[in-house]
C-alpha cells in the first residue's frame, strides 16, 4: 500500500509540473491593425508580434507609445490590455487604458475613446505552442 501511495504522489507531482511548464512556455502570436488618433495626429500600423502571457509589447506611434499585453483567462478566452502613453510624458501616466476580452483565433474589434485618445482596429490572437 505504501508503494501505491508513493507512486500516486510521484504521478500527481509530474502532472502538476507538466501543467505549470505548459503555461509558462505558452507563446501568443497576434496579428493586428491599430489606429491611434490624438493631438492632431492619426497613426495606423498593421503587423504581427509574439509574446508570452502578461509581457508587454510596445509600439512607437509618435507622439504616443502603445503597449499591449495578452493574458489567458480560461480555455480559449483571453484578455488584451491596451495602454496609450504620451512618448514625452513627464510622469509617464497612461492617457488611455482599456482591457478587451476575446476568443483565441477569432478577430477582436478594438474601439474606444478616452481622454482625447481615439483607438480602433482589430486583433487576432493564437497560441503557437499547443
pLDDT in tens, the chain (130 residues): 455 445 444 444 444 444 444 445 799 999 999 999 987 899 999 999 999 999 999 999 888 999 999 999 998 999 999 999 988 865 556 688 999 999 999 999 999 999 889 999 999 999 998 6
Tell me the C-alpha distance between 73 and 52, whole Å: 14
9-47 CB burial, b ≥16 within 10 A, e <16: eeeeeeeeeeeeeeeeebebebebebbbbbeeeebeeee
pTM of the predicted model over 0.85: no
Question: Would you state the pLDDT for residue 95?
Answer: 82
The pLDDT assigned to 129 comes to: 82
Amino acid at each position: 500500500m505504501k508503494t501505491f501511495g508513493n507512486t500516486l504522489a510521484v504521478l500527481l507531482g509530474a502532472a502538476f509540473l507538466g501543467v505549470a511548464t505548459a503555461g509558462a512556455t505558452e507563446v501568443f502570436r497576434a496579428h493586428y491593425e491599430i489606429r491611434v488618433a490624438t493631438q492632431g495626429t492619426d497613426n495606423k500600423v498593421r503587423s504581427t508580434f509574439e509574446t508570452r502571457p502578461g509581457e508587454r509589447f510596445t509600439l512607437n506611434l509618435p507622439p504616443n507609445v502603445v503597449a499591449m499585453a495578452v493574458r489567458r483567462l480560461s480555455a480559449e478566452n483571453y484578455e488584451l490590455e491596451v495602454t496609450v502613453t504620451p512618448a514625452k510624458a513627464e510622469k509617464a501616466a497612461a492617457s488611455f487604458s482599456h482591457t478587451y476580452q476575446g476568443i483565441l483565433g477569432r478577430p477582436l474589434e478594438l474601439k474606444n475613446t478616452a481622454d482625447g485618445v481615439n483607438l480602433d482596429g482589430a486583433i487576432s490572437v493564437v497560441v503557437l505552442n499547443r
